[in-house]
Chains A and B, each alone.
Chain A
Amino acid sequence: MLCNLCQKNPATVHLTEIVDDQMSELHLCDDCARKKSIQMEQQFGLSDLLGGLVEYGKQLGAGADKAQGVLQCSACGLTYEDFRKIGRLGCSECYTSFSKQLGVLLKRIHGATHHVGKAIPTTAPQASQAPPGPGPGKRPRTKTVDLEELKVRLQEAIRKEEFEEAAQLRDLIKELEKSKKTNPKGT
């Protein structure tokens, strides 16, 4: 079998990847495999110090693997595992695909969860192709979410020992309860 990348040398390194029950295989020769791993190492070596991103990403990634198979961006195909290795996301849509993990990570890096700086103008051009919309379960949580439902999900998360998720839910519930108190009629 010839190497999938250079199509010249015999393949000696075989990689198998399982994404959503779909198995894909990559066969590489020694040279191409080495290049690929150096490429990844260099990209990571040059990356910013992410304040423990690697270790942290491992924990997040491991949790995700157990719960829902391989996490992968629906638009560009980058897996969370790839991101963990190279320290770079694949496209703007990755922010939707990995929103849960990135929410936690961004808070850890910046100590904040919301952008308050400049925004793009309302007259800004739209992307040529419409980005694939988030699935029904992936929609970002907003304040219109029912408080009771959140509490149920919190219990669920604690039961499953998904503590990152639980912490996020807890904060969200606190926030909602606080805003209810100051604005009893609801928004």
Chain B
Amino acid sequence: MIIDDLINRMGGWLKGVGPNADIVISSRIRLARNIADVPFPHWAKKPEAEHILTLTKAVFEKTPLLKDSLYVRLDDMDSIDKQFLVERHLMSNEHAVRSAQKALLVNPDETVAVMVNEEDHLRIQVMESGFDLERTWATINAIDDSFAQNLPYAFKPEWGFLTACPTNTGTGMRGSVMLHLPALVMTRQINRVLEAIAKLSFTTRGLYGEGTQASGNFFQISNQVCLGQREEEILDNIKGVIAQIIEHEEKARQALLQDHREMLDDRIWRSYGTLKNAHIISSNETVELLSMLRLGHDLGFIKGLTSGLINELFILTQPAHLQKIENKKLTANERDVKRAEIIRDRLAKLS
């Protein structure tokens, strides 16, 4: 498998199916793991970092769960390809920026990604469509078990898995759920909800994880604590919080339907109209409008759409994706034109 194969398919976690798929986009778990007695990536010398690459690549190759995966070194990759992988949520921006002695493994349906030599020697990520942390955990736990049989993990019984940053020490696990909460934003309840979440020691991030702003009514909520709780407990706590947020969002949607039906109709149909007719559109505007389109689909206003198609538009209209589709560098203006063209084209096919 090579990178260019990815452009013509959609990641398994973008199918728009699974429990509560109208509000929950995806469930993600990542595990931070290190090899004992080798300096962590930021502190390792070149031969030590190379040693990690060799050691882990050999283990990936004999892990049945990672069969037919894509494996790339980032050192010499061009910046569009790297950005393309970030846009697909397969690796962090940090991994793209400092790419010496770094690698990435992606399984064929893009539900599993492993970053090598990011902040930790291994960052294992599993993503599934919808609200399904159990399945996500089962998959990542099995991969982790298999790695643990073959790699000397840095582990101390007292403190668990040892990580470069002490915020991850313990389970090394971060579970996160990506939510679409347009009604809580429109009814101005979102800040209250986010404040309550912060009090329970969960964090809220934007679409691309750490250091990104929430946009288009998308919020990623994840645990902060890694020590003193079992993985299942941590995930149960997240599930509990997310279930409550889903309930609030559903109530807010009902309230909007009852009391502000015209406003809702207007915003959704205007957004649909703009997306179907625009000839120049920025990525910010696209995210905002697609959020409304998604709401219109979820509420049953707009027929003939699928969550999968809307998700696909989110991914395809990003800068590096547009340039991969065109197979050349595009200026910001050229991208805005191409973006509008792709959206018009996909939406025209429906009606």
Residues of A within 8 A of B (CB): 43, 46-48, 50, 75-76, 78, 86-93, 95, 102, 105-106, 109-121, 123-129, 131, 140
A56 to chain B, nearest CB (A): 11
Q: Using A46-B211, A112-B225, A117-B160 as known contacts, say yes or no to A106 and B166 having CB atoms under 8 A apart.
A: yes
Extra contacts, 8 of them, besides A115-B227, A127-B37, A129-B37 (Cβ < 8 A), are: A91-B43, A105-B166, A114-B228, A116-B228, A117-B160, A117-B170, A120-B148, A131-B36
Instruction: Give chain B interface residues in 103-124, CB to chain A under 8 Å.
Output: 119
B154:A92 contact, CB within 8 angstroms: yes
Which residues of the other chain, A, contact B151 by a CB distance below 8 angstroms?
A: 125
Contact mask B164-177 → A, CB, 8 Å, 1/0? 11110111010000
Secondary structure at chain B's binding surface: helix, strand, loop or mixed? loop
Which residues of the other chain, B, contact A127 by a CB distance below 8 angstroms?
A: 35-37, 152
A-B contact pairs, 24 of them (CB 8 A): A88-B42, A89-B162, A90-B40, A93-B37, A95-B159, A95-B169, A102-B169, A106-B159, A106-B227, A111-B225, A111-B228, A112-B170, A113-B227, A117-B229, A118-B171, A118-B230, A120-B148, A120-B155, A121-B148, A123-B149, A125-B149, A127-B152, A129-B37, A131-B36
Which of B150, B160, B166 has the most A CB atoms < 10 Å from its CB? B166
- Chain B interface extent, by class: 35 or more
CB nearest to A130 among chain B residues = B37
Bound Cα distance from A91 to B41, whole angstroms: 9
A89:B164 contact, CB within 8 angstroms: yes
Instruction: Give chain B interface residues in 129-174, CB to chain A under 8 Å.
Output: 141, 144-145, 148-167, 169-171, 173
Which residues of the other chain, A, contact B160 by a CB distance below 8 angstroms?
A: 115, 117, 119
Interface: B34 (CB within 8 A): yes
| Contact among B40, B161, B227 for A89, CB-based, below 8 A | B40
Bound Cα distance from A25 to B211, whole angstroms: 36
B16 to chain A, nearest CB (A): 31
CB nearest to A90 among chain B residues = B43
Which residues of the other chain, B, contact A92 by a CB distance below 8 angstroms?
A: 34, 36-37, 154, 156, 162
| Contact among B39, B169, B211 for A90, CB-based, below 8 A | B39
Which residues of the other chain, B, contact A113 by a CB distance below 8 angstroms?
A: 227-228
Interface: B231 (CB within 8 A): yes
Q: Using A46-B211, A124-B152 as known contacts, say yes or no to A116 and B43 having CB atoms under 8 A apart.
A: no
Q: Using A93-B37, A126-B152 as known contacts, say yes or no to A102 and B166 having CB atoms under 8 A apart.
A: yes
Interface: B38 (CB within 8 A): yes
Which residues of the other chain, A, contact B154 by a CB distance below 8 angstroms?
A: 91-92
Interface: B285 (CB within 8 A): no
CB nearest to A140 among chain B residues = B158
Bound Cα distance from A78 to B42, whole angstroms: 11
B157:A115 contact, CB within 8 angstroms: yes
A114:B35 contact, CB within 8 angstroms: no
| Contact among B40, B94, B229, B231 for A91, CB-based, below 8 A | B40
Instruction: Give chain B interface residues in 199-214, CB to chain A under 8 Å.
Output: 201, 210-211
Bound Cα distance from A127 to B169, whole angstroms: 19
Bound Cα distance from A47 to B166, whole angstroms: 11
Which residues of the other chain, B, contact A131 by a CB distance below 8 angstroms?
A: 36-37
Bound Cα distance from A48 to B211, whole angstroms: 9
| Contact among B162, B166, B201, B231 for A118, CB-based, below 8 A | B231
| Contact among A93, A111, A115 for B159, CB-based, below 8 A | A115
Q: Which 4 A-B pairs have the closest CB atoms?
A: A112-B228, A115-B160, A92-B154, A110-B227
Bound Cα distance from A150 to B201, whole angstroms: 34
Which of B144, B145, B154, B230 has the most A CB atoms < 10 Å from its CB? B154
Which residues of the other chain, A, contact B210 by a CB distance below 8 angstroms?
A: 46, 48
Which residues of the other chain, B, contact A89 by a CB distance below 8 angstroms?
A: 40, 162-166
B40 to chain A, nearest CB (A): 6
B119:A88 contact, CB within 8 angstroms: yes
B230:A117 contact, CB within 8 angstroms: yes
Q: Using A92-B154, A95-B156 as known contacts, say yes or no to A109 and B229 having CB atoms under 8 A apart.
A: no
Bound Cα distance from A70 to B51, whole angstroms: 30
Instruction: Give chain B interface residues in 23-63, CB to chain A under 8 Å.
Output: 34-40, 42-43
Interface: B96 (CB within 8 A): no
CB nearest to B152 among chain A residues = A127
B39 to chain A, nearest CB (A): 4
| Contact among A75, A90, A105, A128 for B152, CB-based, below 8 A | A128
Which residues of the other chain, B, contact A109 by a CB distance below 8 angstroms?
A: 166-167, 225, 227
Interface: B226 (CB within 8 A): yes
Which residues of the other chain, B, contact A117 by a CB distance below 8 angstroms?
A: 160, 170-171, 173, 229-231
B227:A114 contact, CB within 8 angstroms: yes
| Contact among B141, B150, B165 for A125, CB-based, below 8 A | B150
Which residues of the other chain, A, contact B150 by a CB distance below 8 angstroms?
A: 125
Which residues of the other chain, A, contact B148 by a CB distance below 8 angstroms?
A: 120-121, 124
